[in-house]
């Protein structure tokens, strides 16, 4: 099994699995954050649970961080190997004629998303860690919604979030279908999966953009 994951096919398979994991997390993250628009009290309750539950904090959160790091490191490795493999081919053929702009620029959209995640962690995760573990403040009754509203008062921050989710949409438009191809999902459901992937890649980032704009214009 270890030999499989060291092969080119194995790396792509592992990359696809990490992509599925991150897409599931993104959907869950959106489901929580959209509550900040429609039900602030529920948003605070769910945020409190996520921020204080030991299973989430000490098991799921480290797994998530590992998944993010693994996905981007493996993506960079595969991109380098693919570019090296295409050098001769591209000398004879026009690469743009054989692949989409999104597939040729996954590394750049990925780096933009990674940079945004650092920015996002600094906005929300770092203050939470400082508040809980360094300053030792109780999380009972904490107004998580207030922090979200304050963060999105700044139009520059909102612009960064909007641009980042545009990059995420572009990344997902190719990455979703690529992940299914890597695990061999090529059957009668392929057309439906592509349609679902396109809807996911557009609607989820658009939903996050809506959240940022809503709080900016309604604070």
pLDDT grade, residue 107 (50/70/90)?
A: confident
- The pair of structure tokens assigned to 49 is 């649970």
Mean pLDDT of 199-211: 97
Q: Is residue 62 part of a domain?
A: yes
Mapping DSSP to helix (H, G, I), strand (E, B) and coil, where does residue 100 land? coil
Q: Is residue 209 part of a domain?
A: yes
Q: Is residue 108 part of a domain?
A: yes
pLDDT at 4 over 60: no
Tens digits of per-residue pLDDT, 66-98?
A: 999 999 998 888 888 777 776 555 555 555 555
Q: Is residue 95 part of a domain?
A: no
pLDDT at 185 over 70: no
Q: How far is it, in rounded angstroms, from Cα 186 to Cα 13?
A: 14
Burial category of 40 from C-beta neighbours within 10 Å (exposed 0-12, middle 13-18, buried 19 and up): middle
Mapping DSSP to helix (H, G, I), strand (E, B) and coil, where does residue 56 land? helix
**How many domains does the chain contain in total?**
1
Q: Is residue 121 part of a domain?
A: yes
Q: How far is it, in rounded angstroms, from Cα 47 to Cα 49?
A: 5
Q: Is residue 90 part of a domain?
A: no
Q: How far is it, in rounded angstroms, from Cα 202 to Cα 170?
A: 8
Helices (DSSP H) in the chain: which residue ranges? 2-6, 8-33, 35-38, 40-52, 54-55, 61-92, 95-98, 101-104, 106-120, 126-129, 144-151, 155-182, 190-217
Query: Are 212 and 156 within 8 A, CB to CB?
Result: no
Q: Is residue 130 part of a domain?
A: yes
pLDDT at 13 over 90: no
Query: Domain range spanning residue 59?
Result: 9-85+103-218
- The pair of structure tokens assigned to 201 is 């890649």
Query: What's this model's pTM, rounded to 2 decimal places?
Result: 0.88
pLDDT grade, residue 158 (50/70/90)?
A: very high
Q: How many CB atoms lie within 10 A of CB 29?
A: 15
pLDDT at 99 over 80: no
Q: Is residue 94 part of a domain?
A: no
Q: How far is it, in rounded angstroms, from Cα 68 to Cα 126?
A: 17
Tens digits of per-residue pLDDT, 121-154?
A: 999 999 999 999 999 999 999 999 999 999 999 9
């Amino acid at each position: 099994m270890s030999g499989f994951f060291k092969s080119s096919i194995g790396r792509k398979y592992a990359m696809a699995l990490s992509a599925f994991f991150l897409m599931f997390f993104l959907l869950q993250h959106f489901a929580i954050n959209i509550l900040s628009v429609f039900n602030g009290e529920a948003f605070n309750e769910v945020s409190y649970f996520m921020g204080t539950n030991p299973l989430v904090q000490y098991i799921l959160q480290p797994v998530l961080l590992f998944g993010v790091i693994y996905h981007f490191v493996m993506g960079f490795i595969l991109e380098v190997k693919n570019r090296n493999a295409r050098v001769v081919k591209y000398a004879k053929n026009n690469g743009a004629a054989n692949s989409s702009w999104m597939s040729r620029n996954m590394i750049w959209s990925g780096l933009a998303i990674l940079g945004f995640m650092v920015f996002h962690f600094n906005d929300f995760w770092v203050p939470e860690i400082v508040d809980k573990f360094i300053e030792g403040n109780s999380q009972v009754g904490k107004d998580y919604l207030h922090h979200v509203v304050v963060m999105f008062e700044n139009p520059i921050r909102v612009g960064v979030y909007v641009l980042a989710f545009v990059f995420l949409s572009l990344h997902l438009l190719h990455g979703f279908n690529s992940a299914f191809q890597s695990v061999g999902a090529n059957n009668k459901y392929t057309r439906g999966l592509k349609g679902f992937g396109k809807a996911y890649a557009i609607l989820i980032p658009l939903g996050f953009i809506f959240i940022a704009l809503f709080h900016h214009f309604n604070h």
